[in-house]
């Protein structure tokens, strides 16, 4: 009997060791292949709920060789969305994914190996910051109602396309079904910015549009958007973008665990913003007020990283002006540099421009402040056309998103503050519209 017990114990230990080995083995993912039309540093970026908390991850950065080839292996403990160049990708622990990425057009990329179908599907998902199905205003019609119905048609097409894939993992299918719904909701509300922009509404016509829009958008959303209140969907960027609207549309109270977790994520983002804009006076004990452990741990990890970044030397980058001339960011050393990162297709960025103009006007007599508008438009012609149409002046430059790698720019609008010693003051500064921006600039002026 004792011998039998010993055998059982030894067998159990063997099984445990094999399971442990399997877990260690499966905690790695391998992504390899080629990236076309690009020869600079590439980073595989988190696109799940942790994205705003991420600062840098050298384990997932690489430079393709002269033929565009690369191979990268990194640790992964759960299925997640990432961005590779301009493609969204989906990876699970243990995956081996072979890719041929076209940096110029994500739709031309191809995939082989683990979760091939999932990643083929993701080539065609819309971009939330471009108004999802509005696609930067391209799908705005003559009237609000016509545009709403066009968006509903787009939604049907997206659902049919998702249904055409028969071997998707169940979790991925659940997420993508809800992404479509969140994209539709995002499209409805993004119309407030894109419709006046496309139709050049001003004055009374703009006021009439805003009044009419406010009266009908909620009813359209409740009638046509299947809304799911589920904290698991915070893995989706677009769901995070519309989560507060969903809470309002659902008239959710503060009792449900999903409501608590969603609100807690936004509270974590608020704390993250506070620590990034004024780390010197930030009270670290605020982090303990974040109830959700995974959010709290991410914010604490980010806080520690920011302590090591703020106050370090800024990285010099090359900027190009509207005439094609290049200069370096370091040429502004000796001034306070307020960098506003934007793009012509980013409606939230464009909404910040009047506030940036107000800041320029307020501090126009201070020669030691430089307000720098930095576009990351892929097409320089679009940027130049916008500058001319809007008669934008001051320090207007353009650069590739990859050049901003040292500043960890993964989304816009975004601001960066650099002090007179060319040191990072705030890796992620406040928006021009934020009341705290003026206070921070005044505080920087008082420093030597």
Q: For the segment 69-102, what is each residue's pLDDT rounded down to a tens digit?
A: 999 999 999 999 999 988 999 999 999 999 999 9
In a domain, 18, yes or no: no
Phi/psi at 129 (nearest 5 deg)? -70, -10
Q: Is the pLDDT reported for residue 104 higher than 50?
A: yes
Structure tokens at 60: 């997932």
Q: What is the pLDDT confidence band of residue 230, given thresholds at 50, 70 and 90?
A: very high
* Residues 229 and 337 grouped into a single domain: no
Residues 373 and 326 in one domain: yes
Please give the average per-residue pLDDT across 393-399, as a whole number: 93
User: Are 106 and 150 members of one domain?
Assistant: no
Please tell me the total count of domains within the chain: 4
Strands 369-375 and 395-398: parallel
Residues 262 and 236 in one domain: no
- Tell me what the mean pLDDT of segment 339-366 comes to: 92
- Which domain-ending residue is among 116, 141, 172? 116
Helix (H) / strand (E) element for 72: namely strand 69-75
Residue 278, pLDDT score: 55
What does the pLDDT look like over 250-303, one tens digit per residue? 876 556 889 999 999 999 988 887 776 555 567 888 899 999 999 999 888 888
The answer to whether position 442 is within a domain reads: yes
Tokens, residue 432: 């021009």
Give the model's pLDDT for residue 276: 62
Q: Which of 62, 83, 116 is the last residue of a domain?
A: 116
Inform me whether the pLDDT recorded for 42 exceeds 60. Answer: yes
Question: What is the arithmetic mean of pLDDT over 157-164?
Answer: 96
17 domain residue, yes or no: no
pLDDT tens per residue, range 167-201: 899 999 999 999 999 999 999 999 999 999 999 99
- Helix axis angle for 170-199 and 237-249, nearest 10°, is 80
State whether 228 and 343 are in the same domain: no
Are both 106 and 56 inside the same structural domain?
A: yes
- pLDDT score, position 20: 41
- The DSSP bridge pattern shows strands 28-36 and 96-102 to be parallel
Rounded Cα distance between 228 and 250, Å, is 9
Which pLDDT score, from 0 to 100, does residue 19 have? 42
Residue 210 lies in a domain: yes
Do the Cβ atoms of 23 and 42 come closer than 8 Å? no
**215, 241, 242: which is closest to 226 by C-alpha?**
242
Tell me if 399 sits within 8 A of 405, measured CB to CB.
Answer: no
CA dihedral 165, 167, 171, 172 (to 10 degrees): -40
What integer is the mean pLDDT of 114-142? 94
Question: Which pLDDT value is given to residue 6?
Answer: 40
Question: Are both 77 and 136 inside the same structural domain?
Answer: no
Residue 15 is assigned to a structural domain of this protein: no
- Can you tell me the mean pLDDT for 424-436? 86
**Average pLDDT over every residue of 26-36:** 91
Q: What is the mean pLDDT of residues 225-244?
A: 93
Q: Quick one: 341 and 439 in the same domain?
A: yes
Q: Give φ, ψ of 344 to 5 degrees.
A: -65, -25
Q: Is residue 98 part of a domain?
A: yes
Is the predicted pLDDT of residue 371 greater than 50, yes or no? yes
CA 272-277-278 angle, to 5 degrees, is: 105
Residue 255 pLDDT = 66
Is 121 inside a domain boundary? no
Q: Are residues 274 and 224 part of one domain?
A: no
The residue segments making up the domain with residue 164 are 128-249
CATH of the domain at 70: 2.60.40
- Nearest Cα neighbor of 373 from 389, 388, 356, 386 is 356
The CATH number of residue 361's host domain is: 3.40.30.10
Q: What are φ and ψ of residue 356, in 5° steps? A: -65, -40
What pLDDT is stored for residue 274 in this prediction? 76
DSSP assignment of 309-362 equals: HTTSBPPP-EEE-TTS-EEEGGGGTTSEEEEEEE-TT-HHHHHHHHHHHHHHHH
Q: Which of 203, 228, 249 is the last residue of a domain?
A: 249
One domain, residues 324 and 441? yes
List C-alpha distances in Å: 329 to 337, 395, 427, 448.
9, 11, 15, 20
DSSP for 392-412, please give it: --SEEEE--GGGGGGGT--SS
pLDDT range class, residue 39, cuts 50, 70, 90: low
Q: What is the pLDDT of residue 303?
A: 81
């Amino acid at each position: 009997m004792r011998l039998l017990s010993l055998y059982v114990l030894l067998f159990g230990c063997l099984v445990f060791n094999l399971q442990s080995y399997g877990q260690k083995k499966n905690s790695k993912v391998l992504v390899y292949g080629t990236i076309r039309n690009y020869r600079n540093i590439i980073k595989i970026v988190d696109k799940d709920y942790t994205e705003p908390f991420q600062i840098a991850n050298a384990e997932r950065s690489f430079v393709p060789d002269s033929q565009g080839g690369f191979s990268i292996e990194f640790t992964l403990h759960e299925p997640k969305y990432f961005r590779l160049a301009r493609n969204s990708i989906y990876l699970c622990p243990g995956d081996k994914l072979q890719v041929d990425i076209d940096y110029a057009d994500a739709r031309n990329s191809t995939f082989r190996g683990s979760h091939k179908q999932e990643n083929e599907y993701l080539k065609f998902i819309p971009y939330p910051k471009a108004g999802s199905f509005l696609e930067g205003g391209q799908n705005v019609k003559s009237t609000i109602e016509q545009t709403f119905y066009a968006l509903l048609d787009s939604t049907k097409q997206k659902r049919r396309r998702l249904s055409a894939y028969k071997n998707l993992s169940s979790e991925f299918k659940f997420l993508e079904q809800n992404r479509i719904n969140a994209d539709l909701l995002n499209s409805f509300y993004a119309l407030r910015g894109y419709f006046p922009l496309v139709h050049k509404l001003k004055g009374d016509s703009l006021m009439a549009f805003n009044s009419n829009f406010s009266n009908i958008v909620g009813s359209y959303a409740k009638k046509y958007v299947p809304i799911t209140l589920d904290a698991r969907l915070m893995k989706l960027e677009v769901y995070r973008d519309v989560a507060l609207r969903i809470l309002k549309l659902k008239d959710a109270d503060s009792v449900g665990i999903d409501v608590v977790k969603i609100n807690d994520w936004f509270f974590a983002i608020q704390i993250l913003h506070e620590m990034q804009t004024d780390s010197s006076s930030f009270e670290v004990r605020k982090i303990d007020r974040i109830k959700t452990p995974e959010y709290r741990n991410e914010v604490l990890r980010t806080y520690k990283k920011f302590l090591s970044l703020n106050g370090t030397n800024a990285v010099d980058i090359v900027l190009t002006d509207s005439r094609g001339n290049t200069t370096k960011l370091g040429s502004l050393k000796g001034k306070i540099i307020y960098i506003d990162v934007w793009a012509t297709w980013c409606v939230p960025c464009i909404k910040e421009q009047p506030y940036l103009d107000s800041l320029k006007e307020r501090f126009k007599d201070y020669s030691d402040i430089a307000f720098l508008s930095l576009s990351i438009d892929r097409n320089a012609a679009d940027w130049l056309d916008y500058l001319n149409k809007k008669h934008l002046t001051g320090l207007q430059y353009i650069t590739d998103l990859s050049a901003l790698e040292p500043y960890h720019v993964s989304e816009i609008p975004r601001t960066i503050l650099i002090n007179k010693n060319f040191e990072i003051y705030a890796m992620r500064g406040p928006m021009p519209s934020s009341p705290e921006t003026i206070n921070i600039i005044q505080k920087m002026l008082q420093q030597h």
